[in-house]
Amino acid sequence: MAEPRTLTPDDAPLSGAAVVRAEQVGDAGIIDKIVLEAFGPGRFAKTAERLREGAVIEAGFVACLDGRAAGSVRLWRIRVGETPCLFLGPIAVERSERSEGLGAAMVQACIDQARSLGSAGILLVGDAPYFGRFGFARVDEALLPGPVDPARLLWLPMGHVAVAGPVMIG
Ligand SMILES: CC(C)(COP(=O)(O)OP(=O)(O)OC[C@H]1O[C@@H](n2cnc3c(N)ncnc32)[C@H](O)[C@@H]1OP(=O)(O)O)[C@@H](O)C(=O)NCCC(=O)NCCS
């Protein structure tokens, strides 16, 4: 897991009451609640959830407002073909706290973490209109272990590694 860290206002355009910090052991309950509220129980049927089963969490981040957790995201160790890399998700922010930059700050924390680890890149299943702003783009060469809308399978390369092949836990 990542070392505890706090984003300063230079890292992300958050209000003074907001910070993104590394997930800690005691956060599991509140993270489950945030994710359940955002996605509902149906998320367990998703291909992304199948991939996360058995995968190792590389890092997790929690977005806090006035010390209260209001959003969460995790990075998982995976491989695409022979290339070790990271899988982002689920990312969720409490409905009442959205559009305040918490989501962007958490994505940025994941990108910073991946870069500091020297990762080849980050894969995720999500909406290109949201994640495109961070540099994620559709990747057709990565094959998830189940059905996924190809327009929602997105890759952020770090360095010059082009990924291709089956996506597996790393
Ligand atoms: C996606 C999510 C994490 C973004 O969190 P956030 O804190 O609201 O994000 P930010 O404040 O950084 O950005 C908000 C902006 O992104 C836009 N946005 C949010 N979700 C979007 C989506 N799926 N597609 C396109 N734009 C989106 C918002 O409309 C908002 O735009 P505005 O600034 O013009 O008002 C949050 O909306 C959420 O929890 N959604 C439900 C769970 C989910 O869909 N997760 C992503 C799939 S893995």
Superfamily (CATH) of domain 18-169: Gcn5-related N-acetyltransferase (GNAT) (3.40.630.30)
pLDDT at 96: 97
Residue closest to 135 by CA, chosen among 110, 102, 116:
110
In this predicted model, what pLDDT tens digit does every residue of 5-45 receive, in sequence order?
444 444 555 666 899 999 999 999 999 999 999 999 888 78
Q: State the Cα–Cα distance between residues 106 and 30, nearest whole angstrom.
A: 16
107 Cα–ligand 1 center, Å: 11
Residue closest to 47 by CA, chosen among 107, 101, 87, 98:
87
Residue bearing the CA closest to ligand 1, atom 14: 99
43 Cα–ligand 1 center, Å: 17
pLDDT at 128: 98
Give the strand pairing for 142-143 and 165-169: parallel
Q: Provide the b/e sequence for 7-43 (b: ≥16 CB within 10 Å).
A: beeeebebeeebbbbbbeeebeebbeebbeebeeeee
Is residue 90 within 6 Å of ligand 1 at its C-beta? yes
Q: State the Cα–Cα distance between residues 36 and 7, nearest whole angstrom.
A: 25
In this predicted model, what pLDDT tens digit does every residue of 109-140 receive, in sequence order?
999 999 999 999 999 999 999 999 999 999 99
